[in-house]
Structure 1
Amino acid sequence: MAVLLLGLVLFLGVHSTRIVADGWRAGMLARLGERPWKGLYSLVSLLGFALIVWGFARARQSPVVLWTPPRGMNHVAALLMVVSFVLLAAAYVPRNGIKARLHHPMVLGVKTWAFAHLLANGTLADVVLFGAFLVWAIADFASSRRRDRAQAITYPPGTARGTTIAVVVGLLLWALFVVRAHAWLIGVSPLGL
């Protein structure tokens, strides 16, 4: 569990600099320059992510069961994951109505992903991993919205085409992940496929 916790501290820590230390982040960006800052940020993120994967895999070998989710929660989680993947796609598809309306769909997608997995899993490692990401996503979304208001940031209006592309790409990614990638990457088929 210590490896998982260290990974979460590194990964979510570096992703929290705008939440808790935006002034420090701006100073480091000015001192180091954009490319070196992004390189350092990426290096710490990758190290944290690798430790999260390794630590979670180790924790799953000796699970501490806190509760057994009610029957059917994996199906509720799968439906929430549809929303999560659409939000993820909306973060990258230009001029879609989802991003125009919600402003930070990636963070909302992480929030939905974490909540869905908390519903469907009841081990200590699950609560630590998905709970940490849920708390981070809530804090990051609130911080991002405050920063948008303070800087009077506006988002371009969405188009029907952009919104349709975001939804279709999200649905395709969800289907691919449910049918193949989740079992291959995580070792568990979310719907028992």
Structure 2
Amino acid sequence: MTLLIAGLALWYVGHFWKRALPGAHANMGQRAKGISAIMILISVVFMVIGYRMTESYDLHTLPSALRHVNNLLVLFALYFMSPGPSKGAIFYKMRHPMLTGFIIWAVAHIMVNPDLASMVLFGALTVWAVLEITVINRAEPDWQPNPKGAIAKDAMFFVASIVLLVIIGYIHGLIGPSPFGA
């Protein structure tokens, strides 16, 4: 669990140090972006290895039907993380579609993974995304939405999200539990 928590801490630092230490970040210029990217990449490696190494146990049992709810939520998460909401006609006024999609993804994974390691990982990532939204809103209060796009863009990105869900689900089943069942 130590490596998992270290990865989460590095994830937070990699994302928040720009706003927490703006002077130091500005003094580094373009190198700061590279350092952030390296910290975030290392944090993901730490989280994956730490999660897989952690001996964990289920805190409670879940109905198997939640797997279908999870898959539907992940589909919407993929759509929100696509360019669809900002280029389409339905969600174009949404300020943080990617972070909203990230929250949906993390909560969906909490729903179907009742073990302690999953609660720590996905819970901390959910908290991070909520904090990120709060920090961005405070730092940039005068945000304006993109112009309204076409409903065809929404449909195109939703279909792409379905295809991506199938691909990700297949790969997920190769390296871990299949989200689509046995």
TM-score, with length taken from structure 2: 0.89
2:171 is aligned to 181
Superposition CA RMSD, Å: 2.0
Contact 1:4 / 1:56 at 8 angstroms: preserved in 2? yes
Residue 99 of structure 1, CA deviation: 5.5
1:79 is aligned to 72
2:21 is aligned to 24
Residue 23 of structure 1, CA deviation: 5.5
The residue type paired with residue 124 of structure 1 is L
Contact 1:90 / 1:167 at 8 angstroms: preserved in 2? no
Contact 1:68 / 1:121 at 8 angstroms: preserved in 2? no
Q: 1:158 to 1:174 in 2, by over 3 A?
A: farther
Unpaired segments ≥5 residues, structure 1: none
Structure 1 CA distance for aligned equivalents of residues 120 and 139 of structure 2: 28
Structure 2 CA distance for aligned equivalents of residues 97 and 184 of structure 1: 36
Matched, 1:171 2:166: no
Structure 1 CA distance for aligned equivalents of residues 160 and 7 of structure 2: 30
Equivalent residues, number: 181
2:60 is aligned to 67
Residue 8 of structure 1, CA deviation: 0.6
Q: 1:87 to 1:9 in 2, by over 3 A?
A: same
Structure 2 CA distance for aligned equivalents of residues 5 and 23 of structure 1: 20
Structure 2 CA distance for aligned equivalents of residues 102 and 55 of structure 1: 34
Unpaired segments ≥5 residues, structure 2: none
Contact 2:88 / 2:153 at 8 angstroms: preserved in 1? yes
TM-score, with length taken from structure 1: 0.85
Residue 98 of structure 1, CA deviation: 5.3
The structure with the greater share of residues assigned to helix is 1
Residue 67 of structure 1, CA deviation: 1.1
7, 11, 29: which one pairs with 1:33?
29
